[in-house]
Structure 1
Amino acid sequence: MKPANKTLRLDRYLATVTDYSRNEVKRLIKRGEVLVDGEVASNPASQVAPDADVTLAGESLREARPRYFMLNKPQGYVCAARDRRHMTVLELIDEDNPERLHAAGRLDIDTTGLVLLTDDGQWSHAITSPQRQCWKRYYVETAEPVSDKSIEHLQRGVFLHDEKARTLPARIERIEEDRLRVWIQEGRYHQVKRMFAAEGNAVEVLHREAIGGIELDPDLEEGEYRPLTEWEIGSVDGVADGD
């Protein structure tokens, strides 16, 4: 799902790309301080294209474009805008207005790996909405060896503690007796850990490797991030594909 180039109301456009409120913007428009493509704009409700040449008091403005990043999350960080006790993943982002970004699918404080950050709510909803059944891939290490029977249960779906609905079927690839690669379609609270707890085991290492078709860049060290490519942004159309 690539973001569409939609027009915006002039007052909303200006409030988006400046620090002025909508009311302040309307007053500036009425004073004739706003030009659109070289013409004085007098109607706050007029529509502005994203590529329009808008100037305010002689200064050229541009609409803020949606931003999309992948982060290799270390342990010890929470996926929140702010937290009184813990560092947040936004503290790892050296960008303007990082507080406007949010995680499209959170990770626990002790889980590492791929986190997608964006300020495009529609795009992140396409990833996190249960209806989309987006596959997430994890590397898992457990406290005890995982039996073939447990793998069968997980692949069929298990009942988590205090929940009435069985988890959707998972995909499991055994690496070693206590090391697996796990694909899930849901995003329930602490889901992977609780799935193995339902089988009497404990997850000791949990690392997210992929969301849909977006793979964690192997060149990113822990705590590093980079913008998503155009292909990665557009691949969200196919998030239901777990291959």
Structure 2
Amino acid sequence: MTDKNERLQKVIAQSGLTSRRKAEGYITDGKVKVNGQVVTELGTKVAPSDTIEVDGIPVEKEEFVYYMLYKPRGVISSVKDEKGRKVVTDLLAEIPERVYPVGRLDYDSSGILLLTNDGEFANMLMHPKYEVDKVYVAKVKGLPSKTDLAQLKKGVKEGQDILKAVNYNVLSVDKKKDSMLLELTLREGKNRHVRRMMEGLGYPVEKLKRESYGILTLDGLQPGKYRALTPKEIKQMRNLALKL
């Protein structure tokens, strides 16, 4: 018989109310109640039928949902923006669940962005140890030499980071416009990873698009549109991360 009870801090984090680490702090500080009783012990397990409150706020249990968005340029990969710019959740406004982006695509970049309310799934895909491939196509200013391109796999030092590509492929060269189209495969996702990496070599990115994420591609999607992941795709993405 399967035990459907789960750790309290995990249930709180999955609700989207706060992170698991902060949830643990709420528990040890005596700010969490289960069925009206204060619980302070980490690791306490709760059943789906239990009522949970965090600092007086009821924890709402939502069904997990998983969406893939073709993020257009000029949209922030966030749920809100202090400057009032359009954010990715504006493009999914009719979805009743509260979803959050899995990682980021910067404002001027386009392509695949996943959104979900499943914190465990999101963390699994974002953590570099799970090594889920993400493929980008970048148009860069200038014509990198073979030596420059080889450096992408060795790593480009930029600030405190070493920025690497797992693989690269030259798609086209335009000598008249002094530009190159590159396909880059990454497993990490540091802030503005591709742009900083190419700028570090002296070839600024003029245009950037994330073409695929694990087994997922943009096939059939137009910029600004989204679709739900199928149960098979969700399972495949989990298995890919866990190397099953």
- TM-score, normalised to structure 1, is 0.71
Instruction: Give the structure 2 partner of residue 173 of structure 1.
Output: 169
- After the TM superposition, which parts of structure 1 deviate over 6 Å for at least 4 consecutive aligned residues? none
**Aligned-partner residue type, residue 171 of structure 1:** N
Tell me the distance in 2 between the aligned counterparts of 1:145 and 1:111: 21
Gaps (5+ residues) in structure 2?
16-31, 37-44, 50-59, 174-179
- Residue in 2 aligned with 1:36? none
In structure 1, the residue matched to 2:139 is 141
Cα distance in 2 for residues equivalent to 1:46 and 1:188: 35
1:144-174 residue CA offsets vs partner (Å, 9 max, x unmatched): 12221111111222212x12x5334430011
Q: Report the Cα offset of residue 202 of structure 1.
A: 0.4
Alpha-carbon distance, 1:47 to partner: 3.3
Amino acid at match of 1:176: S
Aligned identity (percent) is 27
Report how far residue 198 of structure 1 moved. Answer: 1.1
Which residue of the partner structure matches residue 184 of structure 2?
Answer: 182
Displacement of 1:238: 0.8
CA distance 1:63–1:188, shift in 2 (3 Å) = closer
- Cα distance 1:124–1:143, how it changes in 2: closer, same or farther (>3 A)? same
Which SS does the other structure have where 1:239 is aligned? helix
Structure 2 partner of 1:30: none
Task: Compute the RMSD of aligned alpha carbons.
Answer: 3.0
- In structure 2, the CA distance between the partners of 1:145 and 1:240, relative to structure 1 (3 Å rule), is farther
- 1:71/1:115 contact within 8 Å kept: yes
What CA distance in whole angstroms lies between the structure 1 residues aligned with 2:133 and 2:242?
A: 6
Is residue 75–residue 88 contact of structure 2 (8 Å, CA) maintained in 1? yes
**SS at 1:231's partner residue?**
helix
Instruction: Measure how far apart 1:64 and its partner are.
Output: 2.8
- CA distance, structure 1, for counterparts of residue 157 and residue 147 of structure 2: 15
Quote the Cα distance in structure 1 between the aligned partners of 2:195 and 2:151: 15
Task: Decide whether aligned partners of structure 1 residues 78 and 46 sit closer, same or farther in structure 2, where only a CA change above 3 A counts.
Answer: closer
Correspondence for 1:80 among 73, 78, 81: 78
Measure the CA separation in 2 of the matches of 1:239 and 1:122: 12
Does the 8 Å contact 2:5/2:46 carry over to 1?
no
Aligned-partner Cα distance in 2 for 1:187–1:63:
30
State the partner residue of 1:116.
Answer: 114
Which has the higher Rg, Structure 1 or Structure 2? 1
Aligned residue type for 2:87: T
1:82 partner amino acid: K
Provide TM-score, normalisation by structure 2: 0.71
- After TM superposition, give the deviation of residue 84 of structure 1 in Å: 2.5
Q: Residue 210 in 1 paired to residue 209 in 2?
A: no
| Aligned length, in residue pairs | 196
Q: 2:164–2:197: 8 Å Cα contact kept in structure 1?
A: no
Structure 1 Cα separation of the partners of residues 121 and 81 of structure 2? 25
Q: Residues of 2 paired with 1:118 and 1:111: CA distance?
A: 20
Indicate the residue corresponding to 1:219 in structure 2.
Answer: 220
Secondary structure of the 1:208 match is strand
What letter is aligned with 1:88? V
